[in-house]
């Protein structure tokens, strides 16, 4: 855990955040500044700074993040209507919190 990392604090239960899903590797919670009716964050508990910091060892956690996003899309009832999965990478790519996370965004009306 990084001492000053917001997502490390959230994932370790140090913040008052309601998890929609949690297992030994990941937490899922709603974005506090949603860009769509459904905007979830899938966050690994282990601190990984960015996509640029991933190694071969991290392949399993990335796959788990994507599969969890698929399950959460179904739970949020956007799996059939459609949704986006998004990794922001580095400041120029829109990354604001430097802890790997996957956005699940959807729920727009047709």
Average pLDDT, the chain: 96
R_g over Cα of the chain: 13
**Tokens found for residue 85:** 């999965």
The structural domains of the chain, with segments of one domain joined by +, span 6-106
- Measured over the CA atoms of residue 38, residue 64, residue 85 and residue 2, the dihedral's sign is positive
**Neighbouring-strand partners of residue 84:** 105
Question: Would you please indicate which residues are annotated as catalytic (active-site) residues?
Answer: 101
Q: What's the CATH fold of domain 6-106?
A: HIT family, subunit A (3.30.428)
Model confidence at 110: pLDDT above 80 = no
pLDDT tens-digit profile of 53-88?
999 999 999 999 999 999 999 999 999 999 999 999
Mean pLDDT score, 3-12: 92
């Amino acid at each position: 855990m990084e001492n000053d990392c917001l997502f490390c604090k959230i994932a370790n239960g140090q913040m008052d955040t309601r998890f929609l899903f949690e297992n030994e590797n990941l937490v899922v919670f709603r974005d506090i500044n949603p860009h769509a009716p459904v905007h979830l964050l899938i966050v690994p508990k282990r601190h990984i700074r960015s996509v640029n910091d991933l190694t071969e060892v991290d392949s399993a956690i990335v796959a788990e993040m994507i599969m969890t996003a698929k399950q959460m899309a179904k739970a949020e009832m956007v799996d059939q209507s459609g949704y986006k999965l998004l990794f922001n990478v580095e400041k120029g790519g829109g990354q604001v919190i430097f802890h790997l996370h996957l956005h699940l965004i959807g729920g727009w009306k047709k």
